[in-house]
Chains A and B, each alone.
Chain A
């Protein structure tokens, strides 16, 4: 479950202290296994909201509960364990360019300390699922944008996360690839994962109607 209660966020600028508040008084709850669009114009705070949800930053005020853990008061030492239960797909993929597709997907499992035999089996299965079994030794730069996106998705879901987040995942993809990506997200959601996808691709959203969190100027306008 994800619960925001009166959450506000300011970023810390090194040397200048706290910056202006970018998110104001966010309150909403996502039950387990739901699918939500995260919508709003550029600069509305979609990325900041997602950053809170994948614990890249912590709320400046309010209370944030992620998968049963109170993020604001949790000790820093326990955050890595929480992050391993959250999968994230970035618009710019964030793959490690010096590692093969296989090693990129294996990374979260190895960080979690899974035995290598299980890593090989899980990564192999995941690359087959995204249709990249034959390119498992290719470096990211040898893959097309769509293929890199699929590696990023495989990496995000290989740990079977309870929460899957995507920030403009179709931004670099053509229609066909974007459609295929949505099918993958929906499949994960059917398997019980809570999925939140930030997008400003209206056509895509209208083709896949689902409840949405709408942001404007750092405030939640509607939460269906």
Chain B
């Protein structure tokens, strides 16, 4: 195709599109879409990092309760030691830490008060386990623990973290859906503008078509104009969104998993992923402009012989 590209002078506007595809309304609408897309993108990045943080928390911790921890019927130490030993040998477990009496008392304080006399109660030994592999199946762990200390309980603490992670992923999906809707509306806006241009320049198109212009030639003129206008709208909208995103980032800083130090520069205020995605806005707008104009014009031209 490149070898057949006409050597037209740059800026030769045979269809008069500079007036027909006006340079104010379309970039303004695309800028509004790009602004919304930037917000949705920021939401997507934020939801992704939250979900990631929660997922890291989810499944990463277990609690093992060992009743009668100090019993030592066998020569290999107390029941608690045996469970600890077995847990530390298992693959997929990052660490296992038996809570000390002080830690246990602190944990139970809200229910039992701080009186040491409560130790008369037969408290189980509690082991906090961190998993290296969040997807580790828990049934084999429970079976092994039962084997060395019958009556022990393995509790999965990650249920809430998992629910939060699911929530995070859902938020991310919502942001992605919002991005898709914005892209679809942008495409619709460009399609309407292109159809307007086709109507306004119908006579010129028919003349050029009659002189032997191919559908590709005519569509390329519209696509070039729509790409330029959409890209400028994308740049404009992205730049407009920047101060809003920075303000939002400042508001959200206390909740962020990796918060930047307060004296950090503008570059550190937004996640790296967002900085990498934002320049994609004009690019995406340009692509939508190009494809929509090409499709709209080529479909419309089918009515000509």
Contact = CB atoms under 8 A, between A and B. Distances in A.
A11 B16 CA distance: 29
Nearest to A57: B305
B202 to A, nearest CB: 12
Contacts of B212: 80-84, 108, 111-112
Residues of B in contact with A, size category: 20 to 34
Contact of B211 (A57, A81, A83, A99): A83
Contacts of B255: none
A55 to B, nearest CB: 7
B5 A113 contact: yes
Interface string A73-84: 000110111111
Interface in B110-133: none
Interface string B1-16: 0001111110011101
Interface in A97-138: 98-99, 103, 107-108, 110-116
A54 B8 CA distance: 25
B217 interface: yes
B204 interface: yes
Given A107-B14, A110-B8, A110-B12, A83 B210 contact: yes
Interface of B: 4-9, 12-14, 16, 19, 203-204, 207-214, 217, 305
Nearest to B214: A80
A53 to B, nearest CB: 12
A86 B214 CA distance: 15
Nearest to A96: B204
Nearest to A12: B303
Given A96-B16, A98-B16, A54 B210 contact: yes
Interface in A22-61: 54-58
Looking at chain B's contact residues, the main secondary structure is: loop
A155 B212 CA distance: 12
Nearest to A76: B305
B305 A110 contact: no
Given A96-B16, A111-B217, A56 B210 contact: yes
A55 B209 CA distance: 11
Nearest to A71: B305
Contact of A116 (B7, B13, B14, B208): B7
B214 A115 contact: no
A199 B65 CA distance: 106
B7 A115 contact: yes
Nearest to B14: A107
Contacts of B305: 55-58, 76, 79
A113 B6 contact: yes
A180 interface: no
A111 B12 contact: no
A107 B214 contact: no
A16 to B, nearest CB: 15
B71 to A, nearest CB: 89
A99 B7 CA distance: 18
B241 to A, nearest CB: 36
8 contacts: A57-B305, A76-B305, A80-B214, A82-B212, A98-B13, A112-B212, A113-B5, A114-B7
A108 B211 contact: yes
A94 B209 CA distance: 12
